[in-house]
Amino acid sequence: MRLKSPEPIDAASVETWVFDLDNTLYPARCNLFVQVSARMTTFIEQRFGLEPGPAKDLQRALFQRHGTTLRGLMTEHAVDPAAFLHYVHDIDVTALDPAPRLDQLLAALPGRKLVFTNGSVPHAQRVMQRLGVERHFDRVFDIVAADYVPKPDPRPYARLVETAGFVPAGAVMVEDMAKNLAPAAALGMRTVWLRSDYDWARDSAESDHVHHVADDLVGFLETLVGAAVEPR
């Protein structure tokens, strides 16, 4: 793990851990989100009668303008968000391997654990169940709870803090998209960016709101609590 902040994280001092879901609880190399993205493209093809190329271009443009493709479809085309989420998250989660080491490390990690995702609760539950880590998280704050306002808009961060009832100064947020850490840092959270080669994930990675950088979640947690729990 590379530290950009002079103060390392003392796990025992952290009251609340806020984790992103996709490409965070599992490594981006699993390519699970590729399935979601492909179904977004297909949804747009069917909705607007487009060929795959133009549909992908529209998907990308909506994402760039609005933070998520869904927000763009809602804002510009009045798409029903429930129908969209149901369709795009109908994926094969067996592409993920169960994660017993992650389960061990989360069990050893002190503090409350939350998931904060631009996806949906059902999608998060399926992913966490497949990984075998659902038991560690007492809340999933999803795009529905955020009133369909996606990260990195500051409003869902404030709503998360209010509804989950925690003090930002005692929290750490872990996320694969560097720009999504800016509002968390502004509220007083410490932040961890999980390094990525994707341009959309690296955006603002060199900014001051990124306090720590790690290659993946298991590796990061190993540095915090790995010595306390023997691998199975």
- Tens of pLDDT along 195-217? 988 777 888 888 999 999 999 99
Residue 175 to residue 205: CA distance in whole angstroms: 11
Per-residue pLDDT for 3 more than 70?
A: no
Per-residue confidence (pLDDT) for residue 204, from 0 to 100: 84
Per-residue confidence (pLDDT) for residue 85, from 0 to 100: 95
The DSSP secondary structure of 27-91, one letter per residue, reads -GGG-HHHHHHHHHHHHHHHHHT--HHHHHHHHHHHHHHHSSHHHHHHHHH---HHHHHHHHT--
pTM above 0.85, yes or no: yes
What is the helix (H) or strand (E) element at residue 42, kind and residue range? Answer: helix 32-48
Would you kindly state where each structural domain of the chain is located, as residue ranges? 2-26+98-228, 32-88
CATH number of 2-26+98-228: 3.40.50.1000
Per-residue pLDDT for 4 more than 80?
A: no
Q: How many CA atoms lie within 13 A of 232 on its CB side?
A: 7
Rg of the chain (C-alpha set): 17
Per-residue confidence (pLDDT) for residue 6, from 0 to 100: 52
- Helix, coil or strand: residue 133: coil
Give the percent of the chain with pLDDT over 70.
97
What is the helix (H) or strand (E) element at residue 217, kind and residue range? Answer: helix 217-225
Topology match between the domains 2-26+98-228 and 32-88: no
Residue 27 to residue 176: CA distance in whole angstroms: 9
- Tens of pLDDT along 40-55? 999 999 999 999 999 9
- Tens of pLDDT along 162-176? 999 999 999 999 999
- Of the candidates 163, 193, 158, the residue with the CA atom closest to the CA atom of residue 175: 193
Fold classification of 32-88 is DNA polymerase; domain 1 (1.10.150)
- The conformational region for residue 139 under phi > 0 = left, psi -120 to 50 = alpha, else beta, is beta
**From the centroid of its chain, how far is CA 63?**
16
